[in-house]
């Protein structure tokens, strides 16, 4: 895959911004500057080597940074690509617009991005959410040997944008050894997952036996992305939604919520965690 280094997304727009606030503590008010996480629109267009024109796909809201990983993960999660070889080039037309060259142009009418705000609203059948092509993971549950409670402290210590702003989500893959891949941060929790999965995808393939660790609550779209990436264990600091639990149960994914240094809840398929950690 090729990208234009002169238009690298990471250098065009900062991931955090400064703004003026009034801080209230008790009866005291203080005017000062503070950091907020950047939220930017990104218009995504497709083209192929045989095409002169481009076709619009969607406008995503994201936090600039790790742009190639984000786009690869998003396209993979939505079923637009199956392998990195189908992603030929990424051209940053501006800080808020990108053109992606694909080997073949997908049927864009069949590709819809779901999110926790409205993407799943009004749909009462999982097939209507674009899951017909997701195959459940094998029912043979390989035990994850690491106590999940050991992960949050290391994970939280590696989130520089959150330390500055407190306004973003993060996601990372976790090896069976307990080693945490570089966490990816974004204003959108699903974007952070796309970045984490996309980074692994661009490096060759998604490592087998890894878990996905997220800072947020567990919505349907997080489990959807994990299922596409064949990740059998999803760990979250927040709660799980009912549709996330249903999808995890159907796809043989172990779902863990309210993860902290002291405790966690297992919603589905507890066989994947060792007795010592459950």
Which residues are part of the catalytic machinery? 118
In terms of DSSP bridges, do strands 2-3 and 16-25 run parallel, antiparallel, or are they unpaired? unpaired
CB 71 within 8 A of CB 184: no
**CA–CA dist 164, 117 (Å, integer):** 25
Q: Which residues contact 250 (CB under 8 A, 6 or more apart)?
A: 126, 136
**CA–CA dist 272, 254 (Å, integer):** 7
Phi, psi of 107 (to 5 degrees): -75, 95
* 3-state DSSP assignment of residue 251: coil
């Amino acid at each position: 895959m090729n990208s234009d280094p002169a238009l690298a997304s990471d250098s065009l727009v900062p991931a955090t911004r400064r703004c003026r606030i009034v801080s209230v503590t008790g009866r005291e008010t203080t005017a000062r500057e503070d950091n907020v996480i950047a939220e930017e629109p990104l218009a995504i267009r497709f083209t192929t080597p045989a095409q002169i024109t481009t076709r619009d796909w969607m406008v995503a809201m994201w936090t600039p940074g790790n742009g190639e990983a984000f786009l690869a993960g998003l396209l993979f999660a939505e079923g637009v690509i199956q392998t990195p070889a189908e992603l030929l080039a990424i051209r940053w037309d501006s800080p808020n617009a990108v053109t992606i060259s694909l080997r073949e142009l997908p049927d864009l009418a069949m590709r819809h991005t779901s999110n926790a705000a409205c993407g799943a609203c009004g749909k009462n059948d999982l097939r209507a959410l674009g899951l017909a092509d997701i195959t459940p993971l094998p029912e043979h549950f390989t035990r994850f040997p690491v106590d999940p409670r050991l992960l949050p402290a290391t994970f939280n210590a590696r989130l520089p944008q959150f330390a500055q702003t407190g306004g973003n989500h993060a996601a990372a893959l976790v090896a069976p050894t307990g080693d945490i891949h570089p966490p990816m941060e974004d204003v959108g929790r699903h974007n952070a997952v796309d970045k984490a999965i996309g980074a692994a995808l661009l490096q060759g393939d998604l490592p087998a036996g890894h878990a996905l660790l997220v800072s947020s609550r567990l919505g349907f779209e997080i489990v959807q992305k994990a299922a596409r990436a064949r990740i059998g264990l999803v760990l979250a600091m927040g709660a799980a939604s009912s549709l996330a639990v249903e999808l995890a149960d159907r796809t043989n994914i172990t779902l863990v919520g309210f993860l902290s240094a002291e405790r966690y809840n297992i919603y589905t398929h507890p066989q994947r965690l060792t007795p010592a950690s459950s």
